Amino acid sequence: MIEVTGRIRLDDSELEEVFLRSSGPGGQNVNKVETAVQLRFNVVTSPSLPEPVREKMLRQIGNKLTRDGVLVITAQRFRTQDANRKDALDRLIEMIRAAAVPDRVRRPSRPTLGSKKRRLEAKSQRSEIKGLRSRKPGDE
């Protein structure tokens, strides 16, 4: 079991790891060793995720999901398989933790007395300027 938060724990069987050859520099080692990790986690069918967390996660990471609702994380920053496995798992845990934080409720505020006065003063100044424009020289 992988503990994500105090209430959310992922079962190891929900994660699927596939190892690939990493791209980039590394000499002959790149062609021999499969150090990159592709971590797959099914967000839609996971029994470990509470429904609000699942919905928020689907909204946040919509473009990283496959059509089946599987989140695919590829980690190839490091030269060892273990470091890339840890990196992929850490990224998944971070995504779930971000989705587990409840959205803040916005409470509408009211304009201050000073801002109301400034707005009305600006309106009257603007009105006066426009009024001066419309008068013709002989209309007084």
Residue 124: inside a domain, yes or no?
A: no
Q: Is residue 137 very low, low, confident or very high in pLDDT (cuts 50, 70, 90)? A: low
Residue 44: inside a domain, yes or no?
A: yes
pLDDT at 83: 84
CATH code at 35? 3.30.160.20
Q: Is residue 139 very low, low, confident or very high in pLDDT (cuts 50, 70, 90)? A: low
Residue 56: inside a domain, yes or no?
A: yes
Q: Which domain holds residue 87?
A: 2-100
- Around 45, how many Cα atoms within 13 Å sit in the side-chain half-sphere? 10
Sequence letter at residue 6: G
Number of folded domains that form the chain: 1
Residue 26: inside a domain, yes or no?
A: yes
Residue 107: inside a domain, yes or no?
A: no
- Continuous segment of H or E residues that includes residue 55: helix 51-60
Residues 19-40: what's their mean pLDDT?
A: 70
**Given a cut of 70, is residue 119 above it in pLDDT?**
yes
Residue 33: inside a domain, yes or no?
A: yes
139/121: higher pLDDT: 121
Contacts of 30 (CB under 8 A, 6+ apart): 21, 22, 23, 24
- Alpha carbon distance 41, 44 (integer Å): 9
pTM exceeding the 0.85 threshold for the entire prediction: no
CA dihedral 24, 25, 29, 33 (to 10 degrees): -20
CB atoms within 10 A of CB 31: 8
- Alpha carbon distance 139, 122 (integer Å): 27
Residue 110: inside a domain, yes or no?
A: no
Residue 16: inside a domain, yes or no?
A: yes
